[in-house]
Structure 1
Amino acid sequence: MHDTGDAETTVILDNGGHNIKLGVVGAEGPRLIPNSIVKAKHEKKRVFVGHEQADCSEKFSLFYVRPIERGYVVNWDTQEQIWEKSFSKFDIEPTTSRIAYTDNNYLIPALPDVSNEIFFDKFGFQEVHKASASGFVADHAYKIRRERCACVVDSGFSWTTIACFVDGVLIQESVIRIDVGGKALTNKLKDWISYRQLNVSEETHVINECKEDVCFVAMDFEKSMIEAKKRFDENMIEKRYIMPDFQTSFRGQVKGIREPLASDAPSIVLGVERFAIPEILFNPSDIDIDQCGVAEAVVESITQSPEDLRAALSENIIVIGGSSCFPGYRDRLLQDVRSMLPAEFDVKVSENVANPETHAWQCAEKLLEYPAQVAWINRKEWDERGDSLEYSRFFRTTVTSDELKATTQEFEQKGEKSPKNGEEEEF
């Protein structure tokens, strides 16, 4: 493997659309840092960059500037500013460190990507390694857990991607993107509440927390609709969400609809919205997005993979990303995928994901405990060869399924239904 040089510290930067997951290999875990710059109406003269948002005393009517839109970094100046604040705050010294970075543009290399210039020229990192968040998860499944096939569902802030891997290598034809993520759900919830009850069109932060606190994925949407129409004590769906005042409370509170109110704080009642919002992930057509839902996308991704790998892929569906944290998400995905795949397939959604939001970071840490096992590029190599070196060293993807012919023949010869071996290792 490539010599990793004299760098002493390995930094992992999982650059999510909502939160950055940043930490050092061997530390207790990643820190979650808002990947945005915020202005508040009550503090017009101050701008809150990344982690500084914790210092914003009243999170009413916040204005967001985000470097990532629709899953891609589109504002590199803003992104660099957030990274700089984060490295400084958490005592990361780039000049004596190497950095492993989850590249949001990984699956579409034609998009402009100046991250290496920033890491080498601006910050002075010794070495850089790149992969997608899904790539880290699949590589961990293969190298640590000895699971040769993996279908990774990354349900994040700006989009949802599904991709299949064999031996840690991306099957290019299997990549499917859905233009629905946590941001779209929060915006739709704001619209519905503003239309029916209280104008919250500017309360992105509060309503995003409301979404996280009260929403769930229904196993049977029609049955939940019937439940939501019941009256009084028969209705087990409706909840009251009491808005925070940022004086005595800093996050909203969920109450039963019959519970007495202890204050005059504004509140909203959520019924159908509790499960109709996450349902958009499974049926984007509900809000006029002409795309398949996440379960259909998983089936299509597996179907686009080589035939001899499909059964094994269906046995190891790994769900990551903050938008998969809704109660019921994994069970609903399993139910729907099971109903659409052949009966002889043993469909399983991995239970080895303790925290979907930080799972990719944790997988990267396990892999990078031995940095010599992964490919790195240093400043000198980057100056000499640039993009051509980056693609050859990091972009481990198939161009056509024919390239997997040897692998599938190997599976046939061994008679393996599920390419797994070895003992599993828990985090």
Structure 2
Amino acid sequence: MKTETSLVIDCGGYTVKTGISRLDEPKVYLNAITKAKSEKRRLFVSNQLDECRDASGLFYMIPFQKGYLVNWDIQKTIWDYIYGKEELNFDFANQKVVLTEPYFNFQPIQEGLAEVFFEDLECEALYKTNPGTLSCHKYMKEHPGEACCLVVDSGYSFTHIIPHVHGKPVKSKTIRVDVGGKLLTNHLKDTISYRQLNVMDETYVVNQIKEDICFVSQNLAKDFEIAKKRGDENTIALDYVLPDFTTLKRGKIKEKTEESIEGEQTLRLTNERFTVPEVLFHPSDLGIPQMGISEAIVHTIESCPPELHSHLFKNIVLTGGNCVIPGFRDRVETDVRFMAPSIMEVGVVVPSNPITYAWHGGAAFSKEPGSSKFFVTRKEYDEHGYNIFEDKYSK
């Protein structure tokens, strides 16, 4: 190995979190190419979208579908933008790379990733893993006395619940819930379009609305009652001013004392604020016959050996973009506490930034003296092909 630092790439379905391991924070890039109605001749690669003057009616071209990398051309274009002269200006030659891949990734995609990084980018060494393993590594460094943790990774496409014992994932006990941030945004689009205004082509704007106004209910019946009330008694209803991309680039919540401006377009949002994220806890609301996140957490723990239960219940780590939604952690803790045996201590932790937590875990892992044995070098790959990954990781 010629370098002591590594490039850490947490490549998700919605964003790419990346940076050299010695940095305090990674840079976050949109993992998509977008096309705008207002500028038909130009494609916006990743964060070039910030240069778009009118982001209404954006068309997204994304490399991931249903959580897996399927469009290599789009992904390579995005990587070229991020690591080319326009952004990081990074040379992969003689560098170590820590790369995340989806859980239960398909073999052809795994082989394709290795081929790109060794043959096209010519990196010196590669360590492939999933975000949950890196999050576990970070958590274990922060809590050295613990032997186990349960990582809940709720991202763009799916939510995965992964028990870890002594830093290793128990794959046979891992559960996937087919609900993620993309589904929540689409559900909010459907709801607003049915009730008020057709926003089916406004994924970008509606995603911002979701980020600005949604919260996880701690008491559904109570919140529904409040949402039915009129006037000031309804503390849930709010007006949201839509962007016009001239004077207002991003929508905003309208204060009650704020006067209306001629020509501004507003939405009145009430129970959508909490019914949309409720799908995370009750997927059956949208006809998805699966357990919600809280129920899946308890089911996963109880499917593990009994001697692990107490360790897993008190070390539940929430990561991924959906964990940023206000009230998410409190709801998980309340639900799990209700379903868990009364003698069990329940501990639910949300990192200060659950979106970049896995990247920080990768950065910490790459700096450790013993981490080199997990990397596959380009020389090993040239001699043995992709099988060297399976041989090394099975030890």
Fold conserved (TM > 0.5)? Answer: yes
Q: Relative to structure 1, is the Cα distance of residues 347 and 135 closer, same or farther in structure 2, using a 3 angstrom cutoff? A: same
Q: For structure 1, which segment, 368-377 or 174-183, has the greater mean C-alpha deviation from structure 2 after superposition?
A: 368-377
> Out of 345, 353, 356, which is 1:355 matched to?
353
Matched, 1:253 2:245: no
Match of 2:124 in 1: 126
Structure 1 residue 6: Cα displacement: 1.0
Question: Quick one: which amino acid aligns to residue 332 of structure 2?
Answer: L
- Quote the residue 1:295 is aligned against: 294
Q: Check whether the contact 1:159–1:179 (CA below 8 A) recurs between aligned residues.
A: yes
Q: Quote the sequence identity (%).
A: 38
Instruction: Measure the CA separation in 2 of the matches of 1:189 and 1:17.
Output: 19
CA distance in 1: counterparts of 2:184 and 2:377, whole angstroms: 40
SS at match of 2:40: strand
* Aligned equivalents of 1:9, 1:87: Cα separation in 2: 16
Shift of 1:136: 0.5
Structure 1 residues 394-419: Cα deviation after superposition (integer angstroms, max 9, x where no partner): 468xxxxxxxxxxxxxxxxxxxxxxx
Closer, same or farther in 2 for the Cα pair 1:385/1:325, shift >3 Å? same
- State how far apart, in whole Å, the 1-side matches of 2:5 and 2:136 are: 24
Query: After alignment, is 136-145 or 156-165 more displaced?
Result: 136-145
CA 1:395 to 1:159, structure 2 compared with 1: closer, same or farther past 3 Å?
Answer: farther
The 2-side partners of 1:389 and 1:144 are apart by 32
Q: Distance in 1 between matches of 2:262 and 2:149?
A: 50
Q: How does 1:21-420 map to 2 (within 5 A)?
A: 21-88=17-84, 89-104=87-102, 106-110=103-107, 112-113=109-110, 114-146=112-144, 147-256=146-255, 259-351=258-350, 353-370=351-368, 372-374=370-372, 375-394=374-393
Structure 2: distance between partners of 1:55 and 1:159? 30
Per the alignment, do residues 249 and 96 of structure 1 end up closer, same or farther by CA in structure 2, a change over 3 Å counting? farther
Report the Cα distance in structure 2 between the residues aligned to 1:177 and 1:257, rounded to whole angstroms: 41
Q: CA deviation at 1:180?
A: 0.7
- 1:42 corresponds to which letter in structure 2? S
1:403 match: none
- For the 8 Å contact 1:9–1:96, the answer to whether it is kept is no
CA displacement at 1:107 relative to structure 2: 2.4
* Letter matched to residue 358 of structure 1: T
TM-aligned CA deviation for residue 304 of structure 1:
1.6
Deviates more, 1:256-265 or 1:178-187: 256-265
Report if aligned partners of 1:101, 1:128 keep a CA contact under 8 Å in 2: yes
Distance 1:253 1:156 in 2: 24
Q: Is the 8 A contact 2:5 2:366 kept in 1?
A: no
For residues 120-144 of structure 1, the C-alpha deviation after alignment (integer angstroms, 9 at most, x for no partner) is 1111111111111000011223345
Q: Which residue of 2 aligns with 1:10?
A: 6
Q: CA deviation at 1:380?
A: 1.5
Displacement of 1:366 after TM fit?
A: 1.8
Question: Could you tell me which residue of structure 1 aligns to residue 16 of structure 2?
Answer: 20
Change (3 A) 1:382 1:44: same
Q: In 2, Cα distance between the equivalents of 1:163 and 1:239?
A: 37
Judged with a 3 Å threshold, the aligned counterparts in structure 2 of structure 1 residues 183 and 395 are, in CA distance, closer, same or farther, namely farther
Deviations 1:180-239 (A, max 9, x none): 100000011011111111111111001100000000000011111111001111000001
Shift, 1:69, TM fit = 1.4
Partner amino acid, structure 2, of 1:24: I
User: Does the 8 A contact of 2:138 with 2:360 survive in 1?
Assistant: no
3-state SS of the aligned residue for 1:95?
coil
What is the CA RMSD across the aligned residues, in angstroms?
Answer: 1.6
How far the C-alpha of 1:96 sits from its partner, in A, is 3.2
Q: Deviations over 1:26-78 (max 9, x none)?
A: 12311110001111111111111112212212111000011111111111221
After superposition, the C-alpha distances for 1:357-412 in whole angstroms (9 at most, x for unaligned) are 1111112112222364251011121122233221233468xxxxxxxxxxxxxxxx
Amino acid at match of 1:125: C
Partners of 2:292 and 2:109 in 1: CA distance: 29
May I ask how many residue pairs the two structures share in their alignment?
Answer: 390
Q: Tell me the alpha carbon deviations over residues 224-271 of structure 1, each in whole angstroms, 9 at most, x when there is no partner.
A: 111100111100000111011111221111024564223422111110
Q: Which runs of 5+ in 2 are unaligned?
A: none
